């Protein structure tokens, strides 16, 4: 069997393949975004959560508890507790991830130390949970989006997931339940409950930061009028359509299956278009986390 490298080389000779390396600007942009993420996360911790004895999940939550019990700086625990996970990340995920995570952890530790002497913004626990969760979520989300991490428990979860029947999300939640329970024993159960609120808000904001507000949807359409639908989708939505060739499982008839990517704001218009052409069309709509390359960008509608 011809190896992938040989295939890539032959494709390059034909002019159909071109390997590209990240530019200096790509690296600069990555460092800038990782730095911004660390600053925002540190601000959320030191201006909201830490002064009011609320915690986040994962290694940061453990670091807050350890700092409170020992009196040692939070910034020191953030680095120390992440070191074993950095090694696991290097071995299991790769060098780029490990270096990005190391840089993010060092930057977070630096800004935690800088922000620590400054007073918190409010003592209202509800406001603390909401705005602290938002700030931490944006910061952590930016770091994940650009290839790093601040939570070593996710690395452990990925490793455990390979040898168990539990998902990564379930394993992380299991870890965090123990951490939040520890917060209840150390800081009190009211703080633990508000910490859970902050954790949930941060979790949702991380998701939004990674995916973006303009969430994409993948659509698959099976219709007796595929050409007409494809033409109208291009004309009225400005979306390119890929035609897949399928076969009916019951009738064994050849079918054209249309695939395209739209935004969630275009779903209603899509349904109207399809219903006007073929009310009996079979349509599925699913979440798309990210779109890269191809012809997925919206074209101008005239």
Q: Is the per-residue pLDDT at 7 higher than 60?
A: no
**How much is the pLDDT for 180?**
85
pLDDT above 60 for 297: no
Contact present, 179 and 221 (Cβ < 8 Å): no
In a domain? residue 170: yes
142 & 236 share domain: no
- Enumerate the β-bridge partners of residue 247: 254
How far, in Å, CA of 35 to CA of 21, rounded?
Answer: 23
Q: For residue 191, which of 290, 274, 123 has the smallest C-alpha distance?
A: 123
Question: Residue 267's domain is classified under what CATH number?
Answer: 3.30.70.120
Find the mean pLDDT for residues 265-277.
86
* C-beta of residue 74 within 8 angstroms of C-beta of residue 67: yes
Check: CB of residue 51 under 8 Å from CB of residue 117.
no
| 183 part of a folded domain | yes
SS3 state of residue 260: strand
Query: 228 is in which domain, residue-wise?
Result: 216-288
Query: Is residue 6 scored above 60 in pLDDT?
Result: no
Residues 255 and 142 grouped into a single domain = no
Same domain, 197 and 260: no
Pairing verdict, β 216-222 and 282-288 = antiparallel
Query: Per-residue pLDDT averaged across 103-125, rounded?
Result: 93
Q: Are residues 122 and 141 in the same domain?
A: yes
Q: Could you give the CA distance from residue 99 to residue 240 in angstroms, rounded to a whole number?
A: 38
Query: Per-residue pLDDT tens for 131-157?
Result: 999 999 999 889 988 888 887 777 777
Residue 110 lies in a domain: yes
Strand (E) or helix (H) holding 283: strand 282-288
List, for residues 49-90, the tens digit of each pLDDT value.
999 999 888 889 999 999 999 999 999 999 999 988 888 888
């Amino acid at each position: 069997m011809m190896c992938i490298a040989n295939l890539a080389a032959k494709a390059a000779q034909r002019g159909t393949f071109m390997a590209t390396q990240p530019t200096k600007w790509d690296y600069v942009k990555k460092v800038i975004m990782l730095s911004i993420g660390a600053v925002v996360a540190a601000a959320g911790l030191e201006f909201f959560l830490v002064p009011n004895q609320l915690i986040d999940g994962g290694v940061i939550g453990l670091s807050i508890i350890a700092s409170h019990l020992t009196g040692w700086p939070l910034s020191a625990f953030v680095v120390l507790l992440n070191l074993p996970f950095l090694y696991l990340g290097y071995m299991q995920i790769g060098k780029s991830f490990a270096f990005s995570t190391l840089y993010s952890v060092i930057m977070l530790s630096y800004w935690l130390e800088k922000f620590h002497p400054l007073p918190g913004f409010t003592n209202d626990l509800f406001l603390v949970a909401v705005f602290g969760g938002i700030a931490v979520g944006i910061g952590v989300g930016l770091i994940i989006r650009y290839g790093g991490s601040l939570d070593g428990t996710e690395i452990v979860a990925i490793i455990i997931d390979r040898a168990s029947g539990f998902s990564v999300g379930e394993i992380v939640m299991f870890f965090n339940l123990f951490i939040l329970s520890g917060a209840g024993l150390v800081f009190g159960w009211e703080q633990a409950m508000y910490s859970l609120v902050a954790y949930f808000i941060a979790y949702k904001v991380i998701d939004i930061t990674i995916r973006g507000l303009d969430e994409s949807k993948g659509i698959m359409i099976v219709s007796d009028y595929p050409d007409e639908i494809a033409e109208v989708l291009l004309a009225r939505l400005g979306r390119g359509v890929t035609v897949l060739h399928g076969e009916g499982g019951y009738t064994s008839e050849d079918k054209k299956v249309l695939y395209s990517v739209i935004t969630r704001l275009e779903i209603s218009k899509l349904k109207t278009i399809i219903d006007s052409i073929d009310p009996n069309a079979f349509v599925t709509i699913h979440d798309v986390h990210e779109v890269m390359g191809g012809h997925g960008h919206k074209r101008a509608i005239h």
